[in-house]
Amino acid sequence: MSGGGVVALCGGIGGAKLALGLSLALPETALSVVVNTGDDFEHLGLKICPDLDTVLYTLASLSNPDTGWGRRDETWTFMAALESLGGETWFQLGDGDLALHVERTRRLGLGEPLSAIMAEVAKRLGVATRILPMSNDPVQTVVETDQGTLAFQDYFVARKCAPKVQAIGFQGAATAAAQTDALKALASPETEAIVICPSNPYLSVDPMLALPGLRAALAAAPAPVIAVTPIIGGVAVKGPAAKIMTELGLEVSPVTVAQHYHGLIDGFILDAKDKALANQINTPTLAVNTFISTQAEKRLLAETVLSFARSLRNAPGRVAS
C-alpha cells in the first residue's frame, strides 16, 4: 500500500475487529470504514447506531473488551435509575455510551447529517480513520420470523435471536442514498483494496448492498475486493450468522458466504480450519487464521488481507493502479 486508500465494509463487533487491524496496519488516514446502519433505531427518544458506535469505540480504543459493544470503564447508574422510574430497560445503555446517543440525537435534531456528526465525534476521540455511515437516510433491517415481522433490535436484543428467520428486509433501502464518500472511495483509482469484513453477510453487509448504486460500485470497483469469512468450522465467530443460515436453508460454511458475494469479490479468505473447502470457491482463496482476538492477531490478519489484495492487483488480467 503506497499512499492509496483502503475501504472496509463493516458491521458491528466481528467486523470492527478487522477494521481495527486494518487501522493498525495502514498509515493513519488511509482507511475508510463504511458501516451498516440498518440496525439503527430510536430508543427512549434517542437515536442509537449500534454498529457505528462499536466501530467508533473500537477504533478509539474505548470499546468494552468483555462485551464487544459499549465502552470500557462504563458505569450503569442511568439504567438502574431508569428501571426505578419504570422505564424500558431491555436495551442496555451505559452512562458514558449515553453521551454519544444524546449528543447525536441533539445534532440530528438540528439537521446535521449523521456522517458529519460521526466525523466530528471521531475527530474528538482521536480517530483518524474515516467512519462512514452507509447512508444518512434511515434504513431499517426487519426480520421476518415465525413470530412475525420484527424490528431488528426486537429480534436481536429483546428476543435474543430466538425466533426462526424466514427472510430479511431493509426498509427504506430502495430510496436511501448511499453515502457519497463511500461510493467515491469504492470507485476511486487511488483505492488499493476493498475489504468486506467478517461481519454477518445477511444482517450487516446486505443492508449496504441493498442501497442504490452500492452493489454496482462494489462490482465495478477498480480495486480488488476481498471478503473475510465470518464462519469458521461451521459456526459463526460471533452472533447469529450460523443460526440464520440454517434457518434460511443454507449450508453453514464459508463456501456459502463466498457464493453470497459472487460477482462482487476478487478474493476470499477462509479460516485455516476450513482449508479443504477452498477448492469449492470459484475465486482466489486464501486459508489463514481468521480467529482474531489480540491486537497482534487483528493486525496480522489485516496485513494478510492487504498483501493478498496486492497480489490480486498485480495478477495477470488485472490493470494495476
| Binding site residues, a second copy, CB under 8 A | 44-46, 71, 74-75, 77-82, 84-87, 94-100, 102-103, 105-106, 109, 120-121, 124-125
Q: Which is nearer to a second copy, 102 or 248 (CB)?
A: 102
Query: Which grid coordinates are listed for 48?
Result: 442509537
Buried b / exposed e over 199-231, threshold 16 CB at 10 Å, is bbbbbbbbbbbbbeebbebbeebbbbbbbbbbb
Give the shortest CB-163-to-a second copy separation in angstroms: 26
**Which residues in 101-117 are b (16+ Cβ under 10 Å) and which e?**
beebbebeeeeeebbeb
Residue whose C-alpha cell is 487491524: 21
Q: How far is the CB of 118 from a second copy (least distance, A)?
A: 11
Strands 191-196 and 225-228: parallel
Q: Who contacts 6 (Cβ-Cβ below 8 Å, separation ≥6)?
A: 22, 26, 30, 31, 32, 191, 192, 193, 194, 195, 306
| CB-nearer residue toward a second copy: 108 or 216 | 108
DSSP one-letter string for 246-264: HHTT---SHHHHHHHTTTT
CB of 80 to a second copy, least distance (A): 7
Total number of residues shown for the chain: 321
CB of 99 to a second copy, least distance (A): 4
Is residue 208 within 8 A of residue 134, CB to CB? The reply is yes
CA distance 320 to 311: 10
Closer Cβ to a second copy, 70 or 198, answer by number: 70
Cβ closest to a second copy, residue 73 vs residue 148:
73
Q: For a second copy, which is the closer residue by CB, 92 or 307?
A: 92
| H or E element in which residue 95 lies | helix 95-109
- For residues 297 and 18, the answer to whether their CB atoms sit within 8 Å is no
User: At its nearest, how many Å lie between a second copy and the CB of residue 128?
Assistant: 16
Running DSSP on this structure, what letter comes out for residue 266? Answer: S
- Of 103 and 137, the one with the shorter C-beta distance to a second copy is 103
Q: How far is the CB of 86 from a second copy (least distance, A)?
A: 5
List the beta bridge partners of residue 114.
none
- Nearer Cβ to a second copy (27/138): 138
CB of 125 vs a second copy, minimal distance in Å: 7
